[in-house]
Amino acid sequence: MNLWCELAWLGGDEPARGVLLTIDGDTFSAVAADSDPPPDAERLAGLTIPGLANAHSHAFQRELRGRTHGGTGSFWTWREQMYELAETITPDGYLPLARATFNEMALAGITVVGEFHYLHRGGNAMAEAVIEAAAQVGIRLTLLDTCYLRGGLESFRDADASAWAARVDELRESSMLRIGAAIHSVRAVDAVSARVVANWANARQAPLHAHVSEQPAENEACLEENSATPTETLAAAGALTKRFTAVHATHLTDADVALLGGARVCLCPTTERDLADGIGPARRLREAGAALCMGSDSQAFIDPFEEARAIELDERLATGVRGNHTPAQLLEAATAGGYESLGWPGGGRLAPGAPADLVNVSLDTITLAGTRPQDAIAATVFAAGPRDVNRVMVAGRWLRTEGTDS
């Protein structure tokens, strides 16, 4: 299949023009800029970008939208409301809920999602519901099966880290599904058990994620227990490699920033706002070497464009400085950064050999009309939303065909 894109993002702050994408099965086999459209090519107006990656999701929390957002309190009081909901979800009820959440993501341009999954109820029926939901929607899934050993609800917990590993080993990957690991947090997993999970991920070269320093109280409790910060505790457990993603990384010491420079960081700005978590040092992390990505987390809002620009815009509010991240760096976090965090190396790019996942953004919408071609990347990162997404392709297949363009 040949697609000819008026404008496409191949990296950098400006789009390439006349980009011919050749797709063989589920993979890009050739990408050529400054091409004339061949007669057999399908033409895409507007701007074509790689598929967007949502590196941190709890699909069930979509059900909290509106129920919790107007309340008072803090992260900790919100968590009690989240537990009340989690207690009611069954595998049969989870399939349509997760499918609705993933559908909303697909319509917003998300082509791969990392589901940080801890609704276990002692088995894999809930995980299978999530896997089925993603398959029905047609997006890629990395199921980050989460080790949760203490606190929370009984239904979150495995007996110990070996029982967690035995259960996860029953899950099977496929062309659209990766299985990864997660340590829920240093609150939910002790340092000895964290090492078991890290060893499991390292032995399989699998992605490993953990919530890290979302709240100051988590840091204080960890210092008390381990005489180390959460980041230092996870580093000592062997978790911090380039396959590791620290989710949030909001309240960090300078030493934590340096350690995370060897890993990845997933920012979830719309959730961090909603939960009054704070604003993490994204620029310092990037400059220390951390690869950034982003996630919709609690689904307070599902808009990958807003998530990407909020990395920059929230940091402006916190620092009084503009331009901490370029539009290209933000788009990279929203695409390749997320794919790599989720165990799809080489994905999230319009490049030969990459999975054929893409998003076509209309530039003639009420929001983006008038955009000059050379400004299309900045306009898309700083102003686009799900309403501007025209078409979405995953693995060489169109997910949505209703649009203004074709």
Contact residues for Zn ion (CB under 5 A)? 297
CB of 297 to Zn ion, least distance (A): 5
Is the Cβ of residue 5 or residue 210 nearer to Zn ion in the bound state?
210
CB of 88 to Zn ion, least distance (A): 19
Helices (H), ranges, 67-173: 75-86, 91-107, 125-137, 161-168
What's the CA angle centered on 47, arms 390 and 30, to 5 degrees?
A: 105
Q: Which of 301, 406, 329 is nearest to 364 (CA)?
A: 406
3-class secondary structure, 283: helix
- In whole angstroms, what separates CA 66 from the centre of its chain? 22
Q: One-letter amino acid identity for 406?
A: S
Is the Cβ of residue 272 or residue 388 nearer to Zn ion in the bound state?
272
Is the Cβ of residue 32 or residue 276 nearer to Zn ion in the bound state?
276
CB of 210 to Zn ion, least distance (A): 10
CB of 13 to Zn ion, least distance (A): 31
CA dihedral sign of residues 144, 94, 161, 249: positive
Is the Cβ of residue 118 or residue 339 nearer to Zn ion in the bound state?
118
Beta bridge partners of 43: 4
Is the Cβ of residue 297 or residue 314 nearer to Zn ion in the bound state?
297
Query: For residue 273, which phi and psi values (nearest 5 degrees)?
Result: -65, -50
Beta bridge partners of 265: 246, 292
CB of 134 to Zn ion, least distance (A): 18
**Nearest residue to Zn ion on Cβ basis:** 297
Is the Cβ of residue 113 or residue 361 nearer to Zn ion in the bound state?
113
Is the Cβ of residue 7 or residue 275 nearer to Zn ion in the bound state?
275
DSSP-derived pairing of the beta strands 397-400 and 389-394: antiparallel
CB of 295 to Zn ion, least distance (A): 7
| Distance separating alpha carbons of residues 355 and 317, to the nearest angstrom | 36
| Distance separating alpha carbons of residues 369 and 225, to the nearest angstrom | 55
Q: Which two tokens stand for residue 68?
A: 């919790």
Is the Cβ of residue 297 or residue 303 nearer to Zn ion in the bound state?
297
CB of 60 to Zn ion, least distance (A): 11
| Distance separating alpha carbons of residues 137 and 402, to the nearest angstrom | 16
CB of 194 to Zn ion, least distance (A): 17
Whole-angstrom Cα Rg for the chain: 20
